[in-house]
Chain A
Amino acid sequence: MTADALSSLTEIAETAAELARLRESADDILRRAWSPQAFRSLLDGPGPAFDPALWQTIAELGWPDVLVSDAGGGGGEGLRELCVLAEAAGAAAAPVPLGAAAAAGWCEDRRADGISLVLPERGELAGAGNISGVWPLVPFAAVATRLLVCAGTNDQAVLGVVDPTGPGVSCEAVTPLDHNPAARISLQEAPIDVIESGEPAEVRYHGSTMRAKVAQVAELVGIASAANEAAVEYAKQRTAFGHPIGAFQAVKHRLVDQRCAIEVGRALVNRAADACQHGHPDAAALASLAAYWGIDSLRAVPEGATQVFGGIAYTWEHHAHVHLRRAASAAAGLGGRAHHRDAVTRWLSGRHRSAANEERGM
């Protein structure tokens, strides 16, 4: 990394301490406002897993506006702060579109009423400045009040807001594994309220989706750690052959390996978040690296936790499938493994090219 993207060790330590305090207060708020039990009752009910009162609570605290500048009415904080909040929400099984909403807020740099979401893929420019396109699975889109859409490329690119209740918009509810109020969005020459066009629109859209992805991995880190902690507690209590199962290395080492995967995930989120925040050229590759790890290793953590619980986790009553469902949905929202892998390999190839002639030993 270049020097301007770096901090002194003292700053790193101070930032870590501040973020730890932020996490404590976020945990405290979520403990009072939410619980895995509350998530369970939504899962048991007929509707989607979304609680308007919970969203209201975190919106009043300014979480979705954390990336919006002071001038724009937001918190004026960085991506590391958003990631701390997203991880806390993940750990608390809070069904909130925090990453996508905060990325939308950053994109417009304005505090929004309701729920704004950035659509993760581009649409197509239709006639008369309208937009078309199909997004088969957009998490929380059924409760969104504003959709930020990018269409076209280069000079032709536009970035703007589409009203989900407006003309040419079809929003069809679908039920993903975590029961979030997702929707299939279909735009047919839908009118767009343009915020930005041309190259700046591309840059802003890219910055926004990258932030949403990094925050999504942070949420996945939180989900994985909740699953791991629950399995660890169970392994201390449950006995077999006269011993707690956590005293058997097969179980203990599985839980440790999961914890290591979580620590790697958190470190990758931090690196990607810092790089995005500083506009570092490695940012996109590091965001893809974090997303890759989410897909490759973090989704597997609740799967391993389920194995530690055994049969009890296969019952509807048990909480384990809450984290399993949420991790599967969160990982699916990160995009394709091959896409992120290619982004990383291009970066690695370029980075190591200069060192190629120098490396002659192994």
Chain B
Amino acid sequence: MTEPDYGVVLDDADRDFRDEVRAFLASALTSEVLGPGGNETDRLDRMRLWQRRLYDAGLAAISWPVQFGGRAATPVQQLIFNAEMAAARAPEPINRSAVNQLGPTIIQWGNDQQRARYLPKILSGEEVWCQGFSEPEAGSDLAALKTKAYLDGDELVITGQKIWTSKAQYADWIYILARTDPTVDKHHGISYILVPLGSPGIAVRPIRQITGQSEFNEVFFDSVRVPLTNVLGPLNGGWKVAKSTLGFERVGQSRTHRIERRLAILVNMAREEDALARNGFNDSYVADRIVGFAAQVEALRQISAQATAAGVRGVSPGPEASVAKLLTSEVDQAMANFGLELAGPAGTLERGSVGAVKNGNVAQSYLLMRAATFGAGTSEIQRNVIGEKLLGLPRDC
């Protein structure tokens, strides 16, 4: 295992925390968790097991407040935790998105009963959650959503469709946005509702992606009934609650590790493909592309350290955070594109083919990275946010 580079100096408490995380990884990251290949069910079992082991060690949600099962971790400790997990190649715990987004939203907007009911099972992974925000006609313009829920006694009756729902094929619960008052403007009259996926009237249909895999689903609601107590935050006031969730999504996992790793892979491929001379790259086009990527990757390291540092002082991270999101997506995709070019014709071979570069990972990454610039907010929307919030330009006409 390589020593992760935190980019900051650790104090004694930080070092203690790092040692605790390392000791945990040494004992808990066993072959049962890391597993060899296996099918989808095996992979999910390993993710469940990993969630459970993090939970048993009190490490399932280090940034949550202590009273809800967290550690109230400092930004440095979160940095350490993420870097150690990445360096050890730890798998994704099955409820990571719920821990990062839904949990903090319940802590902020939920009542005591809701907190007690949902939070522990998010942490343990006993209940796996998925997010039902996007709809076929409401993506970037999320508030245009059409799924309806009407009040019937002390129940809500939900009808509509969600799309791009990852994890719905195995999740137990889904949190959705639905229009509970169609008479007011589109940002009002929306409610944030917690729905058991086993409810009568719900159908989940997997979407086959361009990669050939099915990570996403369509979820159909046909007169699905849930009690009114399943509304998180105010009835008809769900837009603000959703904005909290989306805000937590943005501050979630930094993707700096991922782009650093992809850059390292490109550098090594350039060497293997003989695009590299002994004393430097001999192909100036290859070198030019890679140095351009390196500039952005190195800048993003500095920008995320700066944003984390601002967080230490409780200062809002400022423009750097939105700039970082846009650039990370764009450079990640551009590096995958260039990887396909650098690998030559054999780069297009899919997994299992004789001579496939990196066992087909170059081809797979190329397909997978199409989503980098529209998943979790398109680059166009990110540019609008930066243009309007940071530069003060007028809204689109």
- Which A positions have Cβ atoms within 8 angstroms of B? 1, 3, 6-13, 16-17, 232, 235-236, 242-244, 246-249, 252-253, 255-257, 259-260, 263-265, 267-268, 270-271, 286, 289-290, 292-293, 296-297, 337-338, 340-342, 344-346, 348-349, 352, 354-356, 358-362
Contact = CB atoms under 8 A, between A and B. Distances in A.
Given A232-B391, A264-B296, A352-B264, A342 B287 contact: yes
Interface stretch (B203-211, B223-231, B313-321): B313-321
8 contacts: A1-B5, A6-B8, A232-B393, A252-B384, A259-B390, A348-B294, A362-B336, A362-B362
Interface in B192-219: none
Chain B interface size, as a band, is 35 or more
Given A13-B313, A349-B276, A236 B265 contact: no
B295 A346 contact: no
B391 to A, nearest CB: 5
Nearest to B79: A9
Contacts, number: 188
B157 interface: no
A338 B284 contact: yes
Contacts of A248: 396-397
A20 to B, nearest CB: 11
Given A253-B383, A341-B288, A344-B294, A360 B391 contact: no
A3 B9 contact: yes
Given A256-B386, A345-B287, 19 more contacts: A8-B10, A236-B393, A244-B393, A247-B394, A252-B383, A255-B391, A257-B383, A259-B323, A263-B320, A267-B306, A268-B299, A290-B295, A292-B292, A337-B288, A341-B281, A341-B284, A341-B291, A345-B290, A358-B2
A10 B262 CA distance: 30
Given A249-B396, A263-B303, A352-B268, A345 B295 contact: no
B298 A13 contact: no
Given A247-B394, A249-B384, A348 B315 contact: no
Interface of B: 2, 5, 7-11, 75-76, 261-265, 267-268, 271, 276, 279-281, 284, 287-288, 290-292, 294-296, 298-303, 305-306, 308-310, 312-313, 315, 319-320, 323, 326-327, 336, 339, 358, 361-362, 364-365, 380, 383-384, 386-387, 390-397
Contacts of B75: 9
Nearest to A253: B383
A166 to B, nearest CB: 40
A91 B265 CA distance: 38
Query: Would you list the 5 A-B pairs with minimal beta carbon distance, nearest first?
Result: A267-B299, A362-B361, A12-B309, A246-B393, A267-B302
Nearest to A249: B396
Contacts of B276: 345, 349
A133 B235 CA distance: 79
A355 B327 CA distance: 25
